Amino acid sequence: MSNSIHKFRRAAKKLRKSFASGEDDAIRRVTDHLNDEGGLSHARALHVIALEGGFDSWPKMKLATESMAMDRNAKQDRLKIALYHGQNWVVDQLMADTPDLAAGHFGLQCALYDLDSIRAKLAQDPTAATRQYGPRSAILHLAYSKYFQNHAAKRADMMAIADLLLKNGADVDDAYQGFAGSDGKLSTLYGAIGHANNMTLGQWLLDNGANPNDGESLYHSTELGHLDGLRMLLENGATPKGTNALLRALDFNNYEMVEVLLEHGADPNEFQHEKVGGEDPFVIPALHQAARRMCDRRMVDLLLEHGADPNFRHEKITPFAMAKVFRNPAAAEALVKAGADQQLNDQEQILADAADGIDTTGRYVDPSKLPDEYRNILRSILHLPDTFEHIKRLIAVGMEWDRPDNQGITPVQIAGWEGLPDMMGYFLKLRPDLSHVNGYGGTLLSTIMHGSENSPNREARDHIACARLALEHGVALPRDVIDFAGRADMSAFLRDWAEEKPGQVIEREDG
């Protein structure tokens, strides 16, 4: 850590001490920049120091200071990460500090929409359009960049670069291995639509022959919060068959989305067991999915009207049993009306009674005899509203409260990813394994960090409170987690914590 950063932090400590002592100069400095009465925490003192230094936040001041000590390769690596994850404040600051940072790196120039440099390079060397730059080719760097999200004026340059790359031989169906050890590949089209939410570039790719049936784009288009990408893909020949897109759409109880997929041939009785992009599917057959995701009766009726089989069994589970175990009475009623089999086995009856709040004293399930969909129920429902008491009753009848799911994610990690501090706090009281690393290589803290930037409900949740809980329970705070925090408020919190408790900060070895 640079001496300059230490100097700024010492200045923040001194400011806090002077402010607490009521010194006039300190009070003036604070009130000049902070117009509320929230007190002066270390993070707020650092914010004042940053404002006095001409920066609008401490993370930006720290990044600027640290970047002065980085060599060019380190800065470029940080720039790649920021462009991919949409950390555009980091991008802007790195480029302001080192305007020629992308010079000599064609992939970065594509991701930054540097049209003049791209045009000049291709005039000199047309093969640059088809070479690899790290794991991705030039057109993949363009597609996976989120730079456009904060730089609307660069959209025209982005599209001009796309035209130039295509003219010089780039493949609109190019793809790369997204996960280490995975056979699945992530396409250019998925990068534009599913990853970057770049509908302009997505349409251009389709107009220029990109395959809409790449096994990824349609499924992930249901997660965007709008129907533009979904409609675009379907109108350009995407077929729902084999994608599980319908089943993912049910997660959001979005009638219009489900209707569009059904109108384009989605089969409510189809279910793909194969991995999606190298991962086990997060979905199950349509009526089962609707039952466990708390879809309402209108949605269940819609599926039944389009031929969903009310007695289709998945892992020997009927849709009715799923509705009862997951406490979805609306789905259960619709299924009964459709003539569904209402029989429950002994284990299902205990789980259904726990769901309904019926006394289960002295009755227990044997988790080892339950199918995975039941064994993972805690992980599946903890993010849903009004499930706290249901979860307690499930644990009381013997359900495993620290069991990793098929992706290796435990309930406490999911609670953290979702940004639910009350739920996470409950699981922490049960003393879960805080050293557990999930199938993505994520710890509890890094899973919370990922959720703070990627959870669909992140704006309404409190990931900082979850991070605080994890740290209060003694999890380590790796330096790189602090350095690569994408949200400025989370970055400020972690830096504040690291300053107050430096012994909790660790340096992770490469690999």
pLDDT at residue 1 in the model: 46
Burial of 385 (0-12, 13-18, 19+ CB in 10 A): exposed
pLDDT of residue 271: 76
| Least confident residue range of 73-87, 119-133, 263-277, 316-330 | 263-277
DSSP letters spanning 454-493: H-TTGGGS-HHHHHHHHHHTT--EEHHHHHT--SHHHHHH
Top pLDDT among 401 and 483 is at: 401
Phi, psi of 370 (to 5 degrees): -90, 145
Selected residue with higher pLDDT from 207 and 75 = 207
Helix (H) or strand (E) holding 510: none
Q: For residues 384-399, give the mean pLDDT.
A: 96
Q: What is the mean pLDDT of residues 340-361?
A: 97
Q: Higher confidence at residue 71 or residue 143?
A: 143
**Measuring CA to CA, how many Å separate 483 from each of 44, 102, 487, 493?**
19, 21, 11, 12
Task: pLDDT band for 511, please (50, 70, 90 cuts).
Answer: very low
Among 178-192, 195-209, 373-387, which is the least confidently predicted range?
A: 178-192
Cα–Cα dist 475/473, whole Å: 6
Per residue, what are the HEC states of 169-190?
CCCCCCEEECCCCCCCEEEHHH
In angstroms, how far is CA 262 from the centroid of its own chain? 27
Other Cβ atoms closer than 10 A to 211: 18
Give the Cα separation of 63 and 486 in Å (integer).
12
Residue 497 DSSP SS3: helix
**473: closest CA among 437, 505, 444, 502?**
444
pLDDT tens profile 425-457? 999 999 999 999 999 999 999 999 999 988 888
pLDDT digit string (tens) for 229-263? 999 999 999 999 988 899 999 999 999 999 999 99
Output the furthest CA–CA distance in the chain (Å, rounded): 79
Rounded mean pLDDT, 296-306: 97
Could you tell me which residue, 390 or 70, shows the higher pLDDT?
390
Q: Compare 365 and 31 and report the one with higher pLDDT.
A: 365
Q: Looking at 291-387, which runs of residues are DSSP E strands?
A: none
CA distance 125 to 121: 6
Distance CA 9, CA 15 (A): 10
Beta bridge partners of 477: 505
Q: Could you report the per-residue pLDDT of 213-232, keeping only the tens digit for each?
A: 999 999 999 999 899 999 99
Decide: helix, strand or coil at residue 439: coil
Residues 499, 49: contact at Cβ < 8 Å? Answer: no
d(CA 430, CA 185): 39
Give the residue from 206, 203, 192, 138 showing the smallest Cα distance to 168. 138
**Residue written as tokens 């009475």?**
329
Q: Are strands 185-187 and 175-177 parallel, antiparallel or unpaired?
A: antiparallel
Neighbours of 433 (CB within 10 A): 11
pLDDT of res. 344: 98
pLDDT at 274: 57
d(CA 266, CA 261): 5
Domains and CATH numbers, the chain: 3-54 (no CATH), 72-263 (1.25.40.20), 283-400 (1.25.40.20), 407-511 (1.25.40.20)
Sign of the torsion formed by the C-alpha atoms of 207, 208, 213 and 217 = negative
DSSP assignment of 8-71: HHHHHHHHHHHHHTT-HHHHHHHHHH--S-----HHHHHHHHHHHTT-SSHHHHHHHHHHHHS-
Residue whose pair of structure tokens reads 């979904």 in the numeric block: 230
Contacts with 199 (C-beta within 8 Å, 6 or more apart), sequence order: 193, 228, 229, 232
| Whether residue 2 has pLDDT greater than 60 | no
State the Cα–Cα distance between residues 382 and 418, nearest whole angstrom: 9
- For residues 456 and 254, the answer to whether their CB atoms sit within 8 Å is no
Tens of pLDDT along 98-132?
Answer: 999 999 999 999 999 999 999 999 999 999 999 99
For position 413, what pLDDT does the model report?
Answer: 98
The tens digit of pLDDT for each residue in 32-83 reads: 888 766 678 877 888 898 888 888 787 778 777 877 778 898 899 999 999 9
Q: What is the pLDDT of residues 472-508, one digit of tens each?
A: 999 999 988 887 787 878 988 998 899 889 999 998 7
The answer on pLDDT for 281 being more than 90 is: no
- Between 159 and 20, the higher pLDDT residue: 159
Alpha carbon distance 27, 274 (integer Å): 62
**In this model, does residue 7 exceed pLDDT 90?**
no
Is there a contact between 64 and 23 (Cβ–Cβ < 8 Å)? no
**Arithmetic mean of pLDDT over the chain:** 92
pLDDT computed for residue 272 by the predictor: 60
Beta partners for residue 185, in sequence order: 177
